[in-house]
Structure 1
Amino acid sequence: MTRTKTLRANPNESFLCASCGLGVTPIQYGGQHRNHCPHCLSSMHMDIKAGDRRSSCRGIMEPISIYVQKNREWSLVHKCSKCSTIRTNRIAADDNEFLLVTMAAEPMMSLPFPSKTILSELKQMSINKGSEYVLE
């Protein structure tokens, strides 16, 4: 018994996001098919290998991070809420920029050490060395 290759007849047709419920239109540029919602950046766990639509999980793939590839292209890191599988997907030109920047900046907002102490030390080092770049 074989599974059907695709869940949707056309991988670039419109659909409703299973996470936020908003309508998702076909990708206009920057890719061949849409694999995540441009509004909430969530996806569905549908593939075992990219594009095969053979996963039986169907859990919501939640965006958990941003990955910057060697070519400086950004990818979303998704984690399945049902089976914990982790996958990456290239961002699309119409993705929610606010969410992308928030995800990229989040690690800097949650430093494991006191940032004020570091800034004070950097400022003092800058003053002591007579640098023209003085932190304020």
Structure 2
Amino acid sequence: MPRRFVRTTEDFECLVCRTPVRGNGYTNHCPCCLWSRHVDVNPGDRAAGCHGAMRPVAVETGPHDIVLTHRCETCGHQRRNRTSPADDIDMIIEVSAAGWDGGGVPIPPGAREESEGGLRGSAVRGRDRGSGARRRPGRPR
């Protein structure tokens, strides 16, 4: 059975902002603009024939990391990738604020509703503990 991950250390120039990026074997997107390139079927194998630009469309937060979702502009393929400490936090926030409808299409800014608690429909998908409302007595956890 072939390995699912191949560590491939290589440097590249970003397709979007032309920033030279120094790879470390885990680098798969530009730390400045967060765009990626569709080159892998499995991480590191360079077996995808598409080679399209992959737009960052969503941000998910977890207890230990932040994950970007990229969507290929050419074929529509989506892939989740962990962020790195070198990634521009302002760009991560910008992608997060753009919103995401779950199907890989950014939510237009006018389509989001504002409420007292902040924006609804935000792209930040965390593993929070719920709404903060009290639990009804007698209900199991």
Please give the TM-score of this superposition, normalised by the length of structure 2: 0.63
> CA–CA distance in 2 between the matches of 1:106 and 1:80?
17
| SS of corresponding position for 1:64 | strand
The Cα shift of 1:80 comes to: 0.1
Higher radius of gyration, 1 or 2: 1
Percent of aligned positions with the same letter in both sequences? 29
1:21 aligned to 2:18?
yes
| SS of corresponding position for 1:56 | coil
Residue 45 of structure 2: aligned partner: 52
Spell out, residue by residue over 1:61-95, the C-alpha distance to the aligned partner (whole angstroms, 9 max, x if none).
111110224x3411111000000001011001100
Q: Which amino acid aligns with 1:24?
A: V
The Cα shift of 1:13 comes to: 2.8
More helix as a share of residues = 1
> CA–CA distance in 1 between the matches of 2:48 and 2:8?
15
C-alpha change, 1:14 and 1:50, in structure 2 (3 Å) is closer
Spell out, residue by residue over 1:2-30, the C-alpha distance to the aligned partner (whole angstroms, 9 max, x if none).
xxxx8xxx832321112221111234xxx
> CA–CA distance in 2 between the matches of 1:80 and 1:104?
18
Gaps of 5+ in 2: 1-5, 100-107, 117-141
RMSD: 2.3
Residue 70 of structure 2: aligned partner: 78
Gaps of 5+ in 1: 1-5, 120-136
> CA–CA distance in 2 between the matches of 1:49 and 1:83?
16
Q: Which amino acid aligns with 1:38?
A: P
| SS of corresponding position for 1:105 | helix
> CA–CA distance in 2 between the matches of 1:102 and 1:92?
16
The Cα shift of 1:49 comes to: 1.5
> CA–CA distance in 2 between the matches of 1:77 and 1:96?
15
Residue 54 of structure 2: aligned partner: 61
Please give the TM-score of this superposition, normalised by the length of structure 1: 0.65
